[in-house]
Structure 1
Amino acid sequence: MKPFTERAVNIIADIPPGKVMTYGQIAELAGSPKAARQVVRILHSMSEKYKLPWHRVLNSKGEVGFRDEEQMMTQRLSLEAEGVHFIGNNRIELWKYQYHPES
């Protein structure tokens, strides 16, 4: 596993229940601020293998990134089960739930 990928996997694995991080935030902490799309690929290809809490990763607007209705609902229900409240269909108050491991 490449160093960026390993760091991203570890960051994602450490997101606690009821908290979220953004793709860009993970990319920056993993050492490559412009690699948000790579974080998406990591989640897509490694979530099952490494049992990553993929549902705790959102876009920079605090929105669920899936366009597919079923995937969007799965992510939303998973976050709601952890106490995250949504505004409308797929957005949260990011300032309220965002995890900052560097703090």
Structure 2
Amino acid sequence: MDGGGARTPVTAKKFTDAARRREMLYAALAQVPAGKVVTYGQLAELAGLGRAARWVGTQLSNLPDDSRLPWHRVINQAGRLSVPEGSESWLEQCQRLRCEGVQVSNGRVSLPRYRWQP
């Protein structure tokens, strides 16, 4: 050890890295236009996070209720809404997508028709 300079604690670095990853995720999500959808994996790639679809899902499920981010535009790779069918969140996601002109049928969205391709 060189004994010089302060070191950043590992926990502080992890927090900073996690916060930076969330910033990247939120910035990518904010760009998804109304009337279009992305998959969790696609959003991870767009944000520069690699193969982090599950992490993206976790972060979106932890958004505050008053978030203005368009979380409802994110669906799974099969074109389905990922929240439990019939739940309050499921109904809200369906309603928000339909208000933007996205056709939702039985909790499913046509990816060929509505997927955002930046």
Residue 99 of structure 2 corresponds to 81
Of 33, 41, 57, 1:24 maps to 41
Range with bigger deviation, 29-38 or 75-84: 29-38
**Percent sequence identity over matched residues?**
39
Moved over 6 A (4+): none
Alignment match, 1:46: 63
1:23–1:59 Cα contact (<8 Å) kept: yes
- Higher RCO (C-alpha under 8 Å, 6+ residues apart): 1
Structure 1 CA distance, aligned partners of 2:91 and 2:63?
Answer: 21
Structure 1 spans left out of the alignment, 5+ residues: none
Please report the TM-score for the alignment, with normalisation by the length of structure 1.
0.85
Alignment-derived partner of residue 76 in structure 2: 59
Q: Do 2:34 and 2:100's aligned partners in 1 also have CA atoms closer than 8 Å?
A: yes
Structure with larger Rg: 2
Q: Which structure dedicates a bigger proportion of its chain to strand?
A: 1
Aligned-residue RMSD, C-alpha:
1.7
The offset of 1:27, in angstroms, is 0.9
Provide closer, same or farther for how the CA distance between residues 90 and 68 of structure 1 changes in structure 2, counting only shifts above 3 A: closer
In structure 2, runs of 5+ residues without a counterpart are: 1-15
Normalised TM-score (structure 2): 0.75
The count of aligned residue pairs is 100
* In structure 2, distance between residues paired with 1:67 and 1:4: 26
Change in CA separation of 1:58 and 1:47 when aligned onto 2, cut-off 3 Å: farther
